[in-house]
Amino acid sequence: MGCSPETSLRPQARPRDFGARAGPRPDGLIEAARLGGRVSYAVVDVASGRVLESREGGLGQPPASVTKVITALYALDVLGPEHRFETRLLAAGPLRDGVIDGDLILAGGGDPSLDTDALAEMAARLKSAGVHEVRGAFRVWSGAQPYQRVIDPSQPAHVSYNPSISGLNLNYNRVHFEWKQAGTGYTVTMDARSARYRPEVRVARITVAPRDLPVYTYADRGDHDAWTVARGALGEGGSRWLPVRRPAAYTAEVFATFARTHGIELTPGPPLDQPPAGQVLVTWKSPTLSDILHGMLKYSNNLTAELVGMAATARRRGQPAPLAVSAREMSYWAQDRLRMPGARLVDHSGLGEASRLGAMGLARAMALTHSEGRLKPLLKDFPMRDGDGTPVPGHPVMVAAKTGTLYFVSSLAGYVSAPGSPELAFAIFAANSQLREGYDRTSGERPPGAYGWNQRAKELQQGLIERWARIYGS
CA distances from 65 to 256, 395, 406, 474 (A): 35, 26, 8, 33
CA distance 211 to 303: 32
The residue among 351, 347, 356, 366 whose CA lies nearest residue 307 is 347
At residue 472's C-alpha, the angle toward residues 469 and 474, to 5°, is 100
Please list, in sequence order, all residues whose beta carbon lies within 8 angstroms of the beta carbon of residue 364, skipping any fewer than 6 positions away: 42, 44, 49, 51, 338, 339, 340, 425
pLDDT above 70 coverage of the chain, percent: 95
Please list, in sequence order, all residues whose beta carbon lies within 8 angstroms of the beta carbon of residue 210, skipping any fewer than 6 positions away: 231
Phi and psi, residue 35, nearest 5°:
-90, -25
Residues pairing with 134 in the sheet? 100
Task: Look at residue 421 in the predicted model and tell me its pLDDT.
Answer: 83
Q: Quick one: CA torsion of 293, 299, 300, 306, rounded to 10 degrees? A: -50
Task: Look at residue 291 in the predicted model and tell me its pLDDT.
Answer: 98
Eight-state DSSP code of residue 349: S
Q: Which helix H or strand E contains 147, and what residues bound it?
A: none
The class that CATH gives domain 22-81+288-471 is alpha beta
**Position 128, amino acid:** S
Please list, in sequence order, all residues whose beta carbon lies within 8 angstroms of the beta carbon of residue 466, skipping any fewer than 6 positions away: 23, 384, 397
Average pLDDT per consecutive 10 residues, the chain (474 residues; last block may be shorter):
40 44 83 97 96 97 98 98 98 97 98 98 98 98 98 95 98 98 94 97 98 96 97 95 98 98 98 96 98 98 98 98 98 97 96 97 97 96 88 92 97 93 95 88 84 96 94 78
The residue among 155, 157, 161 whose CA lies nearest residue 174 is 161
DSSP string, 356-369: BEEHHHHHHHHHHH
**Position 439, amino acid:** Y
Quick: pLDDT tens for 193-212. Answer: 999 999 999 999 999 999 99
**Position 242, amino acid:** L
Task: Look at residue 419 in the predicted model and tell me its pLDDT.
Answer: 84
CA distances from 147 to 104, 166, 167, 250, 275 (A): 22, 5, 7, 14, 15
Prediction pTM value: 0.93
Task: Look at residue 414 in the predicted model and tell me its pLDDT.
Answer: 98
Nearest-Å Rg of the Cα atoms of the chain is: 26
How are strands ordered across the β-sheet holding 424-431?
51-55, 38-45, 424-431, 409-417, 398-406, 380-381
First-to-last alpha carbon distance for the chain, in angstroms, is 35
Beta-carbon-side half-sphere exposure of residue 335 (alpha carbons within 13 Å)? 12
**Position 188, amino acid:** V
Domain with CATH 3.40.710.10 in the chain: 22-81+288-471
Task: Look at residue 21 in the predicted model and tell me its pLDDT.
Answer: 52
Per DSSP bridges, beta strands 38-45 and 424-431 are antiparallel
